[in-house]
């Protein structure tokens, strides 16, 4: 204790001694006094203020930090002031405001009035006009009096206040976001959930009490009311949890249909050390919009198919009509010659030649038209039903490209197909139609330049059979501007488009991805080397839907 010297009285108590006298060695050994001096040195350099008062609340010892935090001088404390006098000096120096005297004095007086055996450490906080926050701890001494410590807790209180404000902002955010969210600890207890989670899953309040509830209890409740296609009785059996825990608690994204027709998008994120965060988003409207756009896309494909039919059938029908018109005209001339009795052999020979050629033209072109109608009819059925069948890959791809000719002819771009004649596969050809159609349209809209004056581009579709995996491999490549690297990971996301407002829906490649990976059971990869356009590599099992029995 400083700003004085200390000495040990006959009872060994430490008291201040005014002035700078040396420490006497009265009634004690040198070692004892040396230890006492070391203790005083330690206390003097503590970051806490320390003050000792006797049974009459008079100050009998203190350290430098106590003077700093109380705002009083060492000379004042050396005079042995009482507790009330210390408060008055603090007011005089501006270290304490008058309003704080009464509550502090009342608190101390009530503590001092307690029998010595009932006094427990007294802890309270008080402010300082300079902005300091000080924690005061008062502990009784066995012979009467007390020891008081003063700790500057300004930074700690500021940190606590900042943490409380951040916690409040986080709570407000969690309670107002449109997503439901839960945090599950490693013991599978829900330690955090927001209002939206309770609303989306329609959970009664009692399911979350007492808090934190077990995630297993929530799942069992949902199963019991029919949220999942599982018998409620199964919930009581351990094998049930062994079967579903890996699914329920695994990271990833899934969709969960609800009993009322809504659909939730559920994302799960694993936490380091165990536990996970799960979010729930109502994607009902988005799903409906996406389904509507998918229907619209299918209808657009059918519309394109109709345009292809009209364009391709126009040529054989037009040729047939021309041949029929010529035959009708020559027949009328022959009838008139016969009725007039002026028919000549040469005229009959000429007519027979025209009739023979016209009949051949009519038959060949009507046959071509019938073939086109039949093929387009099959493609249309494939589009509408997505039923699986065995088909020749090259023949079907040629029909697809034929339906795209009206659109391709309005551009300077060309399309090449390389495919073995004998390659066949079993699956839903309508899905393949939409995959190829969307890839070509994507190239025309995003990869290749548009307009009649645009430089000619080229699209190549190479198809082969990978024998070791029994997969049909489609390699589609265009010579367009390519795909920026930052977009490569997003091009299959729904509604992602670089042509928003220009007719792009952002669903074309998303549809391609779903058709390849789900309907055809294959895989899809995309590459875009700088300056080399875009390359799509599709692998589909040759028996993608499995051959029917028998």
Which residues does 377 contact at the CB level (< 8 Å), separation at least 6? Answer: none
C-alpha dist (Å) from residue 115 to 84, 105, 108, 136, 229: 20, 18, 13, 21, 70
Which residues does 200 contact at the CB level (< 8 Å), separation at least 6? Answer: 180, 264, 280, 282
Would you give per-residue pLDDT tens digits along the chain (550 residues)? 543 434 333 333 334 433 333 334 445 455 544 555 777 777 888 889 999 999 888 999 999 999 999 999 999 999 999 988 998 898 888 888 766 666 766 777 677 767 766 666 677 677 777 788 888 888 888 888 889 899 998 898 889 999 999 989 988 888 889 899 999 888 888 999 999 999 999 899 888 887 888 887 888 888 778 777 655 555 555 555 555 455 445 677 888 888 788 888 899 888 888 888 999 999 888 778 767 766 666 666 666 666 666 766 777 888 888 888 888 988 998 898 888 888 888 888 888 988 888 888 888 788 777 766 765 665 565 555 668 889 999 999 998 888 788 788 888 899 999 999 999 999 988 889 889 988 998 888 888 877 667 788 999 999 999 999 899 999 999 998 888 888 888 888 766 676 655 545 556 788 888 889 888 989 999 999 888 899 999 999 998 655 544 4
Query: Helix, strand, or coil here: 409?
Result: coil
Q: Cα–Cα distance between 354 and 331 in angstroms, integer?
A: 9
- Is the Cβ–Cβ distance between 277 and 190 less than 8 Å? no
What domains are there in the chain, each with its CATH number? 5-153 (3.30.450.20), 177-282 (3.30.450.20), 285-385 (1.10.287), 387-550 (3.30.565.10)
| Phi/psi-derived region of residue 160, left when phi > 0, alpha when psi is between -120 and 50, beta in every other case | alpha
Query: What is the per-residue pLDDT for 23?
Result: 35
Query: What is the per-residue pLDDT for 26?
Result: 42
Query: What is the per-residue pLDDT for 79?
Result: 93
Query: What is the per-residue pLDDT for 131?
Result: 80
Query: Helix, strand, or coil here: 461?
Result: strand
Q: How many residues does the chain have?
A: 550
Encoding tokens for residue 509? 């490649």
Query: What is the per-residue pLDDT for 391?
Result: 92
Query: What is the per-residue pLDDT for 471?
Result: 93
């Amino acid at each position: 204790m400083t700003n004085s010297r200390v000495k040990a009285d006959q009872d060994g108590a430490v008291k201040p001694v005014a002035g700078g006298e040396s420490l006497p060695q009265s009634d004690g050994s040198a070692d004892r006094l040396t230890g006492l001096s070391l203790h005083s040195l330690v206390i003097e350099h503590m970051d806490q203020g320390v003050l000792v008062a006797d049974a009459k609340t008079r100050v009998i010892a203190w350290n430098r930090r106590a003077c700093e935090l109380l705002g009083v001088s060492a000379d004042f404390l050396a005079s042995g002031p009482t507790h009330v006098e210390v408060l008055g000096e603090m007011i005089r120096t501006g270290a304490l405001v008058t309003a704080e005297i009464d509550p502090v004095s009342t608190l101390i007086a009530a503590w001092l009035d307690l029998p010595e055996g009932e006094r427990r450490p007294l802890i309270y906080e008080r402010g300082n006009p300079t902005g300091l926050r000080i924690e005061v701890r008062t502990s009784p001494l066995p012979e009467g009096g007390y020891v008081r410590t003063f700790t500057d807790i300004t930074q700690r209180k500021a940190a606590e206040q900042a943490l409380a404000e951040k916690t409040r902002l986080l709570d407000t955010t969690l309670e107002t976001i449109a997503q439901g969210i839960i945090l599950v600890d490693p013991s599978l207890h829900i330690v955090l959930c927001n209002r939206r989670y309770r609303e989306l899953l329609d959970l009664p309040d009692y399911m979350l009490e007492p808090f934190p509830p077990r995630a297993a209890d929530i799942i069992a409740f949902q199963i019991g009311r029919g949220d999942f296609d599982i018998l409620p009785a199964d919930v009581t059996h351990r094998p049930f949890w062994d079967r579903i825990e890996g699914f329920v608690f695994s990271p990833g994204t899934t969709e969960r249909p609800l009993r009322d027709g809504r659909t939730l998008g559920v994302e799960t994120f694993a936490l380091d050390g165990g536990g996970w965060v799960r979010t729930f988003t109502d994607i009902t409207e988005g799903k409906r919009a996406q389904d509507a756009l998918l229907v619209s896309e299918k209808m657009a494909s059918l519309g394109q198919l109709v345009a292809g039919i009209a364009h391709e059938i126009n040529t054989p029908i037009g040729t047939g009509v021309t041949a029929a018109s010529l035959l009708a005209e020559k027949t009328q001339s022959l009838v008139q010659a016969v009725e007039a009795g002026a028919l000549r052999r040469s005229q009959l020979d000429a007519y027979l030649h025209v009739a023979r050629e016209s009949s051949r033209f009519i038959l060949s072109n009507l046959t071509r038209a019938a073939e086109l109608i039949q093929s387009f009819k099959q493609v249309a059925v494939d589009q509408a039903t997505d039923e699986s069948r065995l088909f020749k890959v090259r023949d079907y791809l040629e029909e697809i490209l034929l339906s795209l000719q009206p659109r391709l002819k309005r551009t300077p771009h060309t399309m090449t197909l390389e495919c073995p004649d004998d390659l066949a596969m079993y699956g839903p050809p309508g899905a393949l139609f939409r995959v190829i159609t969307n890839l070509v349209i994507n190239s025309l809209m995003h990869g290749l330049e548009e307009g009649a004056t645009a430089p000619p581009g080229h699209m190549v579709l190479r198809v082969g059979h990978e024998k070791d995996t029994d997969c049909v491999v489609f390699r589609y490549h265009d010579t367009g501007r390519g795909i920026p690297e930052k977009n490569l990971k997003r091009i299959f996301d729904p509604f992602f488009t670089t042509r928003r407002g220009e007719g792009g829906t952002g669903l074309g490649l998303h549809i391609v991805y779903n058709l390849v990976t789900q309907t055809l059971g294959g895989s899809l990869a995309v590459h875009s080397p700088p300056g080399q356009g875009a390359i799509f590599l599709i692998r589909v099992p040759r028996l993608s839907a499995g051959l029917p029995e028998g």
